Amino acid sequence: MPQYRDDIRNIAIIAHVDHGKTSLVDVLLKQSHVFRENQEVGELILDRNALEREKGITILAKNTAVEFRGHKINIIDTPGHADFSGEVERVLNMAEGCLLLIDSTDGPMPQTRFVLKQAMEKKLKPIVVITKMDRPTRRIKEVLSMTQDLFLELATEDSQLDYPVIYSSSRAGFATTDPDVMGTDMVPLFEAIINNVPPPEIEEGYLQLLVSNLDYSTHKGRIAIGRIRRGSISPRDPVVVIDKNGEQHRYNISEVFTHMGLARQEVDKAGAGDIVAVTGMEEVNIGDTIASPDQPEALPGITIGEPTVKMTFGVNTSPFGGREGKYCTSRQLRARLYRELETNISLRVEDTDSPDVFLVSGRGELHLSILIETMRREGYELELSKPEAITKVIDGKVMEPMEALIVDTVDDCIGDLTEMLAKRKGRMTNMHHDDMGNVRMEYHIPTRGLIGFRSAFLTTTRGRGVMNTLFLGYEPWQGEIGTTRSGVLIAAQAGTAVTYGLNNAQGRGLTFIDPMTEVYEGMVVGLHARGSDLVVNVCKEKKMTNIRSSTSDIAIKLTTPVKMSLEESLDFIEGDELVEVTPKNIRLRKKMLSAHDRKRAERAGPGEESDE
């Protein structure tokens, strides 16, 4: 007869990006009174990372807990973006149930399908939460019907089709079981969790804990986070860490913490069912088992989907290398990338033939760009190649990753988007119009067809569109995709850009830099109006004559230069170009800086480094 801990509920909050997971956690924390009455806590409380707040997305899975009527509810907030699905995959094993959030207007989206499938495979008990009920555009019947279809498609057993539905608004701070009656608080949701999510099963025996997350403290060292499957753990207990290769390492536990609100509380003992954070182990990684030395048995490891996009990270070799960063050597870059593997388990890092260049693979462009931006803010300088899709050879055939693309936009943009996606080997699978001039288009498209598409999509729709993607699997190679970009304007010499030189360059295309910007030979300073690259001298000054002074170009009015973000820069470059990233600047450059070297490579043909 199995035993259970009825005082605990472990739940994960899963949903598509921007469907309100972190906002819901805010309300649950505030209404469970874990803060003082006069305490200022703000919004998006769990998104403490600066990048998470800037981009408005959750990047890292996080643990918190609240109390309700004598029950402790451990809550795991997960990312919604497909590029961070590895975070979801590794933390779901800590929960018995999940809150599946679905927007009352959008309905189930691509990532909703992915996370629900993961939850079903792990036998989690789902509670459907229809969010943003305060929206005037809500369409409850249609969303419920779409949700039911999704469950019918993904359920692995009949019991998973019997799920409660809660309607909520995090902004208004209520949850209700009746969509026609607006509630006053979140009590109906708390009650649904207590009544529907099964309590953790208690297994007698020696300690077993699977490490699902890692944290770090300068004072405590590595902090291993996971759920105790069997036995109990206390400070000063001897333990064995069993890694993925079966090797064992002995340690003594220093401290044991449980979660409550935003804080960790040190405890003298924690038992099966508790989600804990423990210290005292120098070498411990995600997927390792912490067990008792009396019976060191490993739990099944954490399986993570494979990366789909790769690019190279290299030491900054531009003439400006080492000027603006704190970490500029290959040794420092290598150490940082391999350290990232300890917590970012969706990532892959490989050494290449060059000691200064490393091949990094991830779940998507955003997954890799977040790592790059984090390293940049830490003081690293690096140069990056164009992202490429990772292909496989199966049964003698070249296979490439395919993605589901869902585009929500207005009728005016259909023609341009259809043409653009056809060139990128996109295959339309569905199209739906509503009565308000909006359209939803669904495509199957190669991952490489999406590289560079996001910025083109925003330009084409002029901000009137939203795109979402989800990895589907591998399919046979879809054929070559032609170039979708014009040539570039390349600086002819090192120096400082001036108004006169930039004005001449703007007669040939769009520029990327302002006057008084330092440039070097081979640096990309603009987009050419034609398909070929063009070398321009942006440092050229107007010579003084008897009639005009050399400062007369001050009156010249320049067009505002195009400023690209890191993601847009990675989307923009071609195979013979690099993005130079430093703590202060993002620059574009040719791999071969010398015009003479580029011409020689072009004459030599495709065997050399030139895609032109």
Over range 327-347, report the average pLDDT: 88
Is 0.85 surpassed by the pTM of this model? Answer: no
Most confident of 128-137, 235-244, 477-486: 235-244
Helix (H) or strand (E) holding 126: strand 125-131
User: Is pLDDT above 50 for 611?
Assistant: no
More confident residue, 189 or 364: 189
CB contact at 8 A, 382 and 314: yes
**b/e burial code for range 247-276 (CB count within 10 A of at least 16 → b):** eeeebebeebbbbbbeebeeeeebbbbbbb
* Domain boundaries 392-476, CATH class: alpha beta
Please, which pLDDT band fits residue 38 given cuts at 50, 70 and 90? very low
One-letter amino acid at 352 equals T
The three-class DSSP label of residue 364 is: coil
Same fold, 203-291 and 392-476: no
Distance (Å, rounded) from C-alpha 287 to C-alpha 209? Answer: 10
pLDDT digits over 360-412, tens only? 998 878 788 888 988 999 999 999 999 888 888 888 888 988 888 888 888 88
CATH 3.40.390.10 assigned to domain 203-291? The reply is no
Nearest to 75 by CA among 258, 214, 203, 302: 258
CB contact at 8 A, 46 and 24: no
% the chain with pLDDT above 70: 89
User: Is pLDDT above 70 for 479?
Assistant: yes
Nearest to 161 by CA among 174, 170, 180, 148: 148
Q: Please provide the average confidence, as pLDDT, over all residues in the chain.
A: 83
pLDDT digits over 42-91, tens only? 444 444 555 545 555 555 567 888 888 888 999 887 775 555 566 677 77
- Return the number of other C-beta atoms located less than 10 Å from residue 338's C-beta: 12
Which residue intervals of 287-353 are DSSP H helices? 330-340
CB proximity list for 39: less than 8 A, separation 6 or greater: none
Instruction: Calculate the alpha carbon distances from 118 to 93, 96, 372 in Å.
Output: 10, 13, 28
pLDDT digits over 456-473, tens only? 787 788 777 878 777 888
First-last CA distance in the chain = 70
- Which residue ranges make up the annotated binding site? 18-23
CB contact at 8 A, 406 and 432: no
Domain locations along the chain: 3-200, 203-291, 392-476
User: Is pLDDT above 80 for 595?
Assistant: yes
Please, which pLDDT band fits residue 312 given cuts at 50, 70 and 90? very high
pLDDT digits over 94-110, tens only? 888 888 888 888 888 77
DSSP string, 2-47: -EE-TTEEEEEEEESTTSSHHHHHHHHHHHTT-S-TT----SSTT-
Please, which pLDDT band fits residue 511 given cuts at 50, 70 and 90? very high
What pLDDT score was predicted for residue 250?
A: 92
CB contact at 8 A, 289 and 223: no
Please, which pLDDT band fits residue 39 given cuts at 50, 70 and 90? very low
- Judging by beta carbons within 10 Å of its beta carbon (0-12, 13-18, 19+), is residue 414 exposed, middle or buried? middle
What pLDDT score was predicted for residue 51?
A: 54
The three-class DSSP label of residue 437 is: coil
- Which residue ranges make up the annotated binding site for GTP? 18-23
What pLDDT score was predicted for residue 33?
A: 63
User: Is pLDDT above 80 for 319?
Assistant: yes
From 3.40.50.300, 3.40.50.920, 3.40.50.2020, 3.40.50.1000, which CATH number describes the 3-200 domain?
Answer: 3.40.50.300
Total residue count of the chain as it appears in this document: 612
CB proximity list for 566: less than 8 A, separation 6 or greater: 369, 372, 373, 376, 579, 581, 586
CB contact at 8 A, 525 and 491: yes
Phi, psi for residue 166 in degrees, rounded to 5: -120, 140
